[in-house]
A and B are shown apart, each in its own frame.
Chain A
Amino acid sequence: MNKNEIVIKTDKLTKKFGDFVAANEITFEVYKGEIFGFLGANGAGKTTAMKMLIGISKPSFGKANIAGFDIYKETEKIKKSIGYMSQKFSLYEDLTIRENIQFFGGVYGLNDNEIVSAGNKLIDKLGLHDEADKLVGSLPLGWKQKLSFSIAILHNPKIVFLDEPTGGVDPITRRQFWDMIYEAADNGITVFVTTHYMDEAEYCHRVSIMVDGVIKALDSPEQLKKHYNAESMDEVFLMLARSAKRGE
């Protein structure tokens, strides 16, 4: 992690839907190569905030700079500098692994040569030679998630956004997935991740906890546990999220 280089900076970022303030004056910074856990209860406003950060939802007011680009004026540049993966929408099941690589490589703006070389590297690394020309739909879930993460960072983005990437995945694969996250962060890619597994919150350099549209706490897991006099991040989370008033 490089604390001298800030890749996400928000200042009072707010999103309103009518009278409802989904995200309320969110202010925080994320560093290069940091693993940043973005936590919150269902309905706390995480998805709303994330949609603004990746440039697909316009804020009501406030400022933000993502990977060096303005969140209002340079959303297309933001999209090229980030990777995104979610549990629900990951890859095209009726395309093969190689076809998915080609497709997403193209979407992320790589040229044909870059796609071939990055794709071969990816297939080597995951040991998927025998599966490369098989449909993604035939892979076990754990493999899909690992593949989908690898494709999200195929273009070596500055930031990768992961929305509950490990839901329903078996415990060993879940850890292999985190090995990949660590490695990406070591290579300087900032990882912005949401999860409902509180043990995974402990793997983050810092985490924020959102309650009712507001960031209620932001620090390293160690400091948060100290501050709230808690044994685990699970306890910290329960303490903060229990105070939620929002009627979902």
Chain B
Amino acid sequence: MKAVVLENIVKTYKTKKSTVTAVDDVSFSVEEGELFGLIGPDGAGKTSIFRILTTLLLADKGSAKVLGLDVVDDYKKIRDIVGYMPGKFSLYTDLTVEENLEFFATIFNTTIKENYDLVADIYKQLEPFKTRRAGKLSGGMKQKLALSCALIHKPKILFLDEPTTGVDPVSRKEFWEMLKRLKAQGISILVSTPYMDEAKLCDRIALIQNGKIMKIDTPQNIVNQFGKNLYAVHSEKMFNLLNDLRDYKKTESCYAFGENHHLSMKDEEYNLDEIKSYLEEKGHRRATIKKIDPGIEDCFMQLMKK
């Protein structure tokens, strides 16, 4: 059985003046036990998809199933077996850490004790603060508590909507290590993120933009389909370099990527020596050009322009 199946899902929001299509004919499926990532910026439609799958929102068109259950006909059953961590912190800020966890355990007819092993790993870090009100926790701690509350009823599938947004690189790394351990216990996970570097930590990903899925595959396969040579270019004057490379007649695209610029060329012939002498003319005396493997972010940007 598939963990999640979406077929031709459409969701629009109407205001007085206009209609916004948030999810535009989206279909994909998630295998059982899979860690599947929805990768895309704010406004791509990720949250609408989560809310449809967790039975909090009705789609205009299409159908969706979670572990074989229909999101409309079987919504009550779905609510029992899913864990959901919304993008916006949604726990009770005036309850303590422990009270929140107990509350969520109770409404699912279970106890903290019964499923403690599942959350122990995460909750242990929170225990020193268990009498603190949830509203007084830092961002990283809130995120850990929200995950604990989403897990306490031992869900079969986890829906995590941008769990790492606004979280620093250290906590982000820890969070993904936790997800890996949960996956090892057989829980299917659908997670969304705007951070492209997190894509490679998923089994498969869907790249999503403006309500449409641009590509679904394993991170490796997506990178393999980039289909062009990509070069990392560096010089002492990086801002000038960016503009000079963009002005070059055979350049297809050039974007800043950390300490280098990533350059791809039009499909006509070019050679690196020619580019180097062009750069020298422009005053970049010690420019380096190195062929590199593209990353998910390179692929995302290439697909955005299609």
Contacts and interface: CB of A to CB of B under 8 A. Distances in A.
A199 B195 CA distance: 11
A168 B195 CA distance: 8
B96 to A, nearest CB: 16
Contacts, number: 96
Interface in A189-216: 196-199, 202-203
Interface in A136-159: 138, 140-142
A41 B168 contact: yes
Given A138-B18, A141-B42, A248-B140, A196 B166 contact: yes
A199 B258 contact: yes
Given A42-B139, A170-B209, A198-B258, A234 B196 contact: no
A168 B165 contact: yes
A234 B169 contact: yes
A169 B42 contact: yes
A42 B255 contact: no
Nearest to A169: B41
A87 B166 CA distance: 10
Given A141-B41, A248-B137, A171 B297 contact: yes
Contacts of B137: 248
A234 to B, nearest CB: 6
Interface string B114-136: 00000000000000110000000
A99 to B, nearest CB: 17
Interface in A215-248: 221-222, 232-234, 237-238, 241-242, 244, 247-248
A248 B41 contact: no
Contacts of A142: 41
A40 interface: yes
B186 interface: no
Interface residues of A, number: 40
Interface in B272-304: 297, 300-301, 304
Interface in B107-162: 128-129, 137-141, 162
A127 B217 CA distance: 36
A198 B169 contact: yes
Interface string A106-141: 000000000000000000000000000000001011
10 contacts: A42-B140, A169-B41, A170-B40, A171-B304, A175-B256, A179-B242, A237-B170, A241-B169, A244-B170, A248-B140
Interface of B: 18, 40-44, 128-129, 137-141, 162, 165-173, 194-196, 209, 238-239, 242, 255-259, 297, 300-301, 304-305
Given A168-B165, A172-B305, 20 more contacts: A40-B168, A41-B168, A41-B169, A41-B171, A140-B43, A141-B41, A141-B43, A168-B41, A169-B194, A170-B44, A171-B41, A182-B242, A202-B258, A203-B258, A232-B259, A237-B169, A237-B170, A247-B128, A248-B138, A248-B141
Interface of A: 40-43, 87, 138, 140-142, 164, 167-173, 175, 178-179, 182, 186, 196-199, 202-203, 221-222, 232-234, 237-238, 241-242, 244, 247-248
